[in-house]
Amino acid sequence: MNILLLIMDSVRASNTSLHGHEHRTTPFLESLADEATVYETGISPGSWSLPSHTSIFTGYHVAEHGVTGAKNKLEPGHTIFERLADEEGYSTGIFSENTWVTEMDVGLKETFQTVEGARNIPYVEGLDPSNFVLTEGQGNYAGYLKRCLSHDHPAKSLANGVVTKLAWDYPQYLPDSLKATTPADVYVDLFLDWEETRNDSWAACINLMDGHMPYEPRPEHDNWGGKRLQKLQQDVDDQVWEYLGGHRPWWEKRAMEGLYDGTIRQMDAQIERLVSTLKERGEYEDTLIVVTGDHGEGFGEKSQVKPDVRLAGHGKDVHEAVLHVPLVVKFPGQADSETVSAAASLTEFPRVVDAVLDGEWDRDAFVPDDGAVVASTHGLDEPSQALAEEFCGSVMPYGGVSRTVYETTDEGVVQYQAWEDAASTVRIFDAKTAWKAADTDDGVVSETFGAFDDLGVREESEGIDAAEGATKERLKDLGYL
């Protein structure tokens, strides 16, 4: 039995044609759904990559593990991938340019035996220009050339310098495989090359970052964006805080959805290629395939709990746009389509894997037995606080922890939200339709979260300051610095 967790980073359910979006962004997922289980209300545990992935890998709620920032680190031994390797003899691997899961010292990359991370430079054995810049300063070309000539790999070091210069100053001339957002095919290829050499059962996570800012679909998938939107995106220095601070009009942010939709189509095409290859290799029927998102994305929607707050990007609100993600699961041997309308949690992933290995899974596998479908944010840490001060003049109203609880009732799914002293009840019709029903959560959020304990699985990390230069540049490209 093999395990494949396929995460389309930053993809919200409402922009997939699987969930009724007007643009045909996910034709393959629609066809996969004919022989898989579709969860209509799949909920991510966190509003950005680090806490969400930690919950998916461990089965712990964010309130239980507390890994919510660069200075937090998950202790070893708590993830399903470690357990599969140690107790079941699985080969494990992760394939992603997501800095938080393959580069940062937060306890996630250590979870896997094989780690294929960001392609910041073409030759890892050569000199890394980003590290040189940190010590010698940017623009010191003569110094870099001298260092290259004395390096063990001078030609590869020079090539790294050329690529880095293009990435920083002339990205339009950079090959697709080395751009800020590396297209999905690079990581699908890395996974397929790895999978082909496995002689035993394997468990892998592939995180595709095409859907994360900046949105850079290739021409064949840029069906709803175009050159004008590409130029607009290039002219924006900060795609989150310039809008939150009122420095750019919200119609621009809304228009970016056209490019975003193209990136979803791009990932969908690569997932199709991956699945087709697994079928050709005879691995498909014996593999649990989970396709989902780690969180969604905001394009100007108003907060459902703080009406004066709008969404740009992710990480600051528990809005449906940020938490409601696609969730398509192909169970081993499944041949018929199934649909689950109850609220489902990605935090159930480890328990689903256990059930599949025991042969005891059912269509409701991602629906918690205790009904606890919850998610949370943790307010603004550095460097987000500095960005809020720079663009908005204050960290308010974006500070403070926001939490939400989803409940499945006879009338559908209800979301209870609480953010500082504000609260709301939201009724969810589908991935594209939700409305605020009340300005109170009836105490549901505090009661639910009051039952969670800190599990003590968090260590301290040196944080972003300890990251290498290339990693910091990558975080900057993604909008975290």
Average pLDDT over residues 307-323: 87
Q: Is the peptide bond before 51 cis (omega within 30 degrees of 0)?
A: no
Average pLDDT over residues 302-320: 87
pLDDT (tens digit per residue) in 161-203: 887 777 656 656 666 555 555 678 889 999 999 999 999 999 9
Report pLDDT for 148. Answer: 87
Report pLDDT for 314. Answer: 86
**Closest alpha carbon to 332 in 36, 5, 18:** 36
- Report d(CA 289, CA 36) in Å as an integer: 9
Two tokens, residue 196: 């082909």
Average pLDDT over residues 294-309: 92
Model confidence pTM above 0.85: yes
Average pLDDT over residues 293-311: 92
pLDDT (tens digit per residue) in 431-458: 999 999 999 999 999 999 999 999 999 9
- Cβ atoms of 373 and 405 within 8 Å: the answer is yes
Average pLDDT over residues 2-10: 98
User: Beta strand 338-345 with 37-43: parallel, antiparallel or unpaired?
Assistant: parallel
pLDDT (tens digit per residue) in 204-230: 999 999 999 889 999 999 999 999 999
Q: How confident is the model at residue 468 (pLDDT cuts 50, 70, 90)?
A: low
Average pLDDT over residues 126-140: 64
Task: Sketch out the chain's domains with CATH numbers.
Answer: 2-119+182-478 (3.40.720.10), 124-180 (no CATH)
Lowest-confidence region among 12-21, 61-70, 462-471: 462-471
Angle (deg, nearest 10), helices 141-149 and 154-169: 150
| Residue scoring higher pLDDT (123 or 450) | 450
- Cβ atoms of 218 and 264 within 8 Å: the answer is no
